[in-house]
A and B are shown apart, each in its own frame.
Chain A
């Protein structure tokens, strides 16, 4: 297995400015995640785990420190450069609102390829393959609001993997699911890791975190 560092965070800080005063959500995080790892990030609300996830997901930039992803320092990238990173390097699975409304399952999975400029026939072929791997290709033409919560998460995983990203970032991926379905989804994520995908799961549930090989706890903006 490849053991080069995929994510390298050095003295990462994030300060939010508001009229009520500045709030330091991350107070110097240094962390290295190598390719192929399965890491869980835990912590109570207010610990900074969401902020960390946003920065790792290239949705936000740090106030100080550096973030190297695949060897590239992306901490000072502009909006469109970060959009490109999110498109090609990172697959997201959110707790809720994963799929576009008024849009079929297939079109949802195709969308990242649309932004990558892949032609229509190729997109459909790849999206159908991804849906088959998640055993949900029979719902390809259903509208996204006509499938169950577990099915939504499977479609989300299919879409997260469609651009073959180096990192799969899951933010409370089972937060809205019952226990049985949660385990089914986590089993898929574990399988993805076994196939070599680097996975970071943000959760506050011990039950979910124990699927990860490495657990990181955040307390008050620092690694505890």
Chain B
């Protein structure tokens, strides 16, 4: 075999790498390796200029492959595979070495060690490049249909957005009715339309589309296949099971409200203590006088951040939209009922953006704001028939202030749905520290997940208001559509293969496979395992459990891995 000629590029990443790793030393250490034809350092390997230089280098020197030593392959493997394509190389000849997350960032306290490790990592990549073969991608037909799970505002908007794009939509809702949380609301901030009317408008729009199938009272019970060809089983409340075939799944399962513990600020122990959603229902359905248990309500105390920003609980996050939601409810109550006094016991108002105007309006209308830090939360005390809320108010220099309240509204935050574990594990969706579903990249890819073809929209990803949920729903719809719009998908050929000679069908691989990609087949009178290429993710779980060593992973063959290990140790 002709000796390979490869190019190695070592990235400074601004200073992210070169502040800790001596990139020039790395370059010098690898330039003498037999297959290395050229080795360079670069300020930003991912920059346009460097990409152009790489293409020029490959073409001018007839390189057989390139290695970039930079950040995590999650960020840039694709970038540099595309560079290879532009230089007329097969993209699988590209090999990535991660010397940022694995060397410079991990060992910022030890520059020598970080440099040493970076050299080994690049040498391992060179060892792999020796065997990296040209491979062809698999093309699969994609089903141009999307299952949208959850028919709240996010799910309905996503369904409409997809239907407008000539895509079949199956909208699956667990509840008997569509509309989700928003359909329960009366007055909304920033519009004259009530939540009910808004959802009525959207549902009637929904019903105009022939290509949307709505399934209420329905739950997903099984998920098989992968992007482009996902087969779901759904079950209705009267136990009818249907099988659906879609190309992508858009999760819009929403959130739950935090339920305070018994006794938390008097919840469930005092008649006068209710939650924000209960209060919103109350002001929406009552007229004339605001009454609670037969008594007129005048003084209302709102206690913020109940179940959010906890210092001793699990919910350390801010629930984002409760400040605005509460002030809007308070202002609405004041406009609708006579002689209402609003007292806001808060931990610093977060009426971000234009919502600030609402806060300013409420201050002008005479609402009283009392504030504490996390270590001085207000207390709710019952004295006979009186309910008193007490706080050491930092806005008046820590003075103890008491309010006798006719009603205490606990501003309960958004929490992940209690059934997230069931539906989440069905789709193998990762969750963040906050237990909401996690996106693949917090900044730039907020609706995509690590599972190809599964997008997340609305408050199942984290607390959001209505407009933010809709933005995320339409984004997710765009991404799901974009995957399927061509009707065909390319999948990586990096899958497992079975050597039929060696395989004895012990079924160990079948039980190890998390993707149900192993099939039991009869071939030439012998029972063996076979890999379903469209489902196999190349994760390698089957390889170590195979006793006769019949499993080989394309691009991660034993030959490649062993030579990498030799270079590393």
**A is bound by B:** no
Enumerate chain A interface residues (CB-CB to B < 8 A).
none
- A-contacting residues of B (Cβ < 8 Å)? none
